[in-house]
Structure 1
């Protein structure tokens, strides 16, 4: 059985490949977190995955995978940062923690769940930039807020026999 840390690495890489299959490049830059927000904006509505969308099936696993990517991005942008995991915690997947070298503590899965629940006000990109601003060399991109007008939630897919 794999450890949480092994699963984090594997699922972060899976997220990069999954997004690439949709033509979205994730490169572990802080700016790539905008793509995570776009994805959430498109495939969730009212705090729930949209039926027929990318998050509709395997929701928990996909949240873990995307959250793993978010945490890996924070770690790659702030040197001497690390994951804190507890393989004995029954809720370990939700409680995985990133400790940044300046002492900042982050819970990427929990943040992603808040983003889904609360919308852009709990955006991943602004959060990532704010928690890494002391250490990462990233200027805030105000284009983030255009997501609200540019990306609309997909329409739920109806089964062909329903009218």
Structure 2
């Protein structure tokens, strides 16, 4: 029986491969979290998945995979960070948490849900940047502020029989 930690590693790697097929690069850097914001911007509108697009099917699994990637990114960038999971929690996939080296705890899966519902005001890149700012001392990538202007939700796919 797989544990949440095993699933986290498996699905974090899966989402990296899935994004690559869409031409988006996830490389476990804090800056790569912006790719998640771009992806969500393309596939949601008004806090809901666009029908016929990537998030319209298996939303829970994709949120888990993205949360796993966000957490793994934080762990790889902040020394002495670790996953906190509870395989007995019926909502364990939503409640996966990361304890950062300084003792801060965050819930990347829950943040993903907020990102989808609330838009860029709950952006993943600013979230990751603020959690790692003291450790990495990286300058905030100002191109984040262009996402809303540059990326519009994709139109729903038409069934093949409708021309």
Judge same fold: TM > 0.5, yes or no.
yes
Deviations 1:135-158 (A, max 9, x none): 124221111010001000011123
Alpha-carbon distance in structure 2 between the residues aligned to 1:29 and 1:160: 38
- Distance across 2 between alignment mates of 1:144 and 1:91: 31
> Does 2:78 match 1:78?
yes
CA distance in 2, matches of 1:5, 1:40: 25
Deviation at 1:24, TM superposition (A): 1.4
Give me the whole-angstrom Cα distance separating, in 2, the residues matched to 1:140 and 1:74.
16
| Aligned counterpart, 2:33 | 33
Partner of 1:139: 139
Aligned CA-pair RMSD? 1.2
Q: CA shift at 1:22, angstroms?
A: 1.2
Kept after mapping to 2: 8 A contact 1:64/1:93: yes
Q: Which runs of 5+ in 2 are unaligned?
A: none
TM-score normalised according to structure 2 size: 0.96
For structure 1, which runs of at least 5 residues remain unmatched after alignment?
none
- The 8 Å contact of residues 30 and 73 in structure 1, kept in 2 or not, is answered as yes
Give the Cα–Cα distance (whole angstroms) in 1 for the partners of residues 129 and 66 of structure 2.
Answer: 17
How far did 1:25 drift?
1.4
Between the two proteins, the alignment pairs up a number of residues equal to: 163
Distance in 2 separating the partners of 1:24 and 1:115: 18
Higher mean C-alpha deviation, range 92-101 or range 21-30: 21-30
Per the alignment, in what secondary structure is the counterpart of residue 134 of structure 1?
helix
The more displaced of 109-118 and 46-55 is: 46-55
SS of the aligned residue for 2:55 comes to coil
Deviation per residue, 1:75-124 (Å, 9 max, x gap): 11101100000000000000000000011110000001000000000000
